[in-house]
Structure 1
Amino acid sequence: MSVNDDLNAIQRSLDELGRTVDRLERQLGKGGLEVRRLRTHSEHLRDDLALLRDSAGRPGRQQPAQQIQQMVQVPDAPYDASLWRDADEEGLGSRVRRAP
């Protein structure tokens, strides 16, 4: 299935969920906390699907398989000692000061 087919299948499922929640509201009433939460969650799912459709249709969007990043090579040569000139040695203190 294509991404568009999958998104359409989700849309159909959410439509069915909405119809089912409508039936429950008619049977149980709209005032119950559980029914209100179910309605809210189903609306959030609709919003999430709309966001997903927008991001899936955006040109230049990379698929996860294409998002592999390049490996960074770290040289084996030692670092320049001048980089550590003013740094304290961990646990030993500064080279120019004496411990109390």
Structure 2
Amino acid sequence: MSQVTSLHEELTAAQRCLDDLARSISRLEERIGSGLEIRRVRSDAEHLKESLALLRDATPKAAPQPRQEMVTIPDQPYDSGLWTDVDDEGLGARDRRAP
């Protein structure tokens, strides 16, 4: 995994946390009202959200991954003429016996 991908994942995780924080602040506001303290907490959370957006814009973007094409492998056996210059792997040479 590249560092850019890891950085993107960390920024996304931070964004999710800030979204959770905003929902929690809304629930708190429903319970305790919209006094000065809750407005200040909401304002601080908005500043964090803006700062994270600026940080995301300043980070390098992940390079697009090249698309790999699928290769179809036929079911019929390969032409044995392709293998005349090689030994059977693990069995030794054709004209010699294994010890």
Q: 1:15: Cα distance to partner?
A: 0.5
Tell me the equivalent position of 1:5. Answer: 9
Letter in 2 for 1:36: R
Query: Which runs of structure 2 are paired with 1:1-100 in the superposition (5 Å)?
Result: 2-30=6-34, 32-57=35-60
CA RMSD, aligned part only? 1.8
Query: TM-score, normalization: structure 1?
Result: 0.54
Letter in 2 for 1:28: I
**C-alpha distance in 1 between matches for 2:30 and 2:60:** 37
Letter in 1 for 2:8: N
Q: Give the number of the structure with larger relative contact order, counting CA–CA contacts within 8 Å between residues 6 or more apart.
A: 2
Letter in 2 for 1:8: T
Q: 1:57: Cα distance to partner?
A: 3.4
Tell me the equivalent position of 1:75. Answer: none
Letter in 1 for 2:20: E
Structure 2 SS opposite 1:57 = coil
Query: TM-score, normalization: structure 2?
Result: 0.55
Letter in 2 for 1:20: S
Which stretches of structure 1, 4 residues or more, deviate above 4 A after TM superposition? Answer: none
Tell me the equivalent position of 2:65. Answer: none
